[in-house]
Structure 1
Amino acid sequence: MFEITDTQKIGVGLAGFGISFLFLGVLLFFDKGLLAIGDMLFISGLACVIGPRRTINFFFQRHKMKASASFLGGVIVVLMGWPLVGMILETYGFVLLFSGFLPVAINFLRRVPLLGTVLNMPGLSRILNIIAGDSNRTTV
């Protein structure tokens, strides 16, 4: 087991509230205020969970510069007042940044009892197999 610090617990809460505010902002027809608050909470929560130095190293790796520029550019565009364009940029950058983590997350969620049943339904399962890759394939 590893120890979770209080700062990491706060970071998880901040990131969770950030995702909630982003979701509400999208539901309420791209409300600028909610999206801006959600962006700030998510980024600060990520920094609290993995630490400021590792956050900067994560965003500014050489092979992730395009994804980071898109994600952070989308945050700036949302803050400037163009929420729809900003969220499109953010979504593109988010998918590029976290695409390596998506197969792990999807395969984990498939093992959750109730959610796994939904995710293994025929139509949704085919889409998730494309995103996560074939689970029968071994990677070396």
Structure 2
Amino acid sequence: MITITVFQKIGVGLSGFGMFFVLFEILLYFENVFLCYQILFLSGLAFIIGLRRTAHFFFQRQKLRSSAFFLGGVALVLLRWPLIGMLVETYGFVLLFKSFFPMAFGFLATALNIPFLTFTMLNKLSGSSSSMV
């Protein structure tokens, strides 16, 4: 069984609050009060996997372009350009984490048992070739 440290629990909480504030900011039509979500998400990521591994993840040679888009979007949002910043940040986020999406969809296929969500659709999204129905 995997043990979770206190710092990782704090990181999950910070990342969760960051994601909540993203949705809340969108609901409030990009109000400038809730622009702290990027800082919460990045600090939560640093707490979960560690500061050195976070820096290594963002500054790998093959991920420099996507990191520039993501961190540039964060800077644009903090400079009070929330709509453009979130679009740039979303593009960078998709480029950064595109290798994790098949694993996440595979996890959803095995963990969720939702009647209207078929496993074949999740298996296609996850990239697996098994024909479980």
Same fold (TM over 0.5): yes
SS across alignment from 2:36: helix
Q: Hey, which of these two has a bigger chunk of helix by percent?
A: 1
Mapping for residues 20-59 of structure 1, pairs under 5 Å: 20-34=20-34, 36-59=35-58
Q: Is the 8 A contact 1:75 1:90 kept in 2?
A: yes
The residue that corresponds to 1:99 in the other structure is 98
* 5+ residue gaps, structure 1: none
- Structure 2: distance between partners of 1:119 and 1:57: 36
TM-superposed deviation, 1:108: 0.8
- Structure 2: distance between partners of 1:106 and 1:69: 26
- Structure 1: distance between partners of 2:73 and 2:25: 15
Deviations 1:88-116 (A, max 9, x none): 0110010011100001101111223344x
The residue that corresponds to 1:136 in the other structure is 129
| CA distance 1:70–1:17, change in 2 (3 Å) | same
Q: Is the 8 A contact 1:73 1:90 kept in 2?
A: yes
- Structure 1: distance between partners of 2:112 and 2:84: 37
* 5+ residue gaps, structure 2: none
The residue that corresponds to 1:17 in the other structure is 17
- Structure 2: distance between partners of 1:108 and 1:118: 17
- Structure 2: distance between partners of 1:3 and 1:106: 24
Which aligned runs of 4 or more in structure 1 are off by greater than 4 angstroms? none
Report the TM-score, using the length of structure 2 for normalisation. Answer: 0.88
- Structure 1: distance between partners of 2:119 and 2:30: 31
- Structure 1: distance between partners of 2:5 and 2:97: 24
The residue that corresponds to 1:110 in the other structure is 109
Aligned sequence identity (%): 50
What is the CA RMSD across the aligned residues, in angstroms? 2.0
Which of 110, 117, 120 is residue 118 of structure 2 equivalent to? 120
Deviations 1:23-50 (A, max 9, x none): 111121122331x211110000000000
Report the TM-score, using the length of structure 1 for normalisation. Answer: 0.84
- Structure 1: distance between partners of 2:20 and 2:71: 19
- Structure 1: distance between partners of 2:89 and 2:59: 16
Q: Is the 8 A contact 1:32 1:82 kept in 2?
A: no
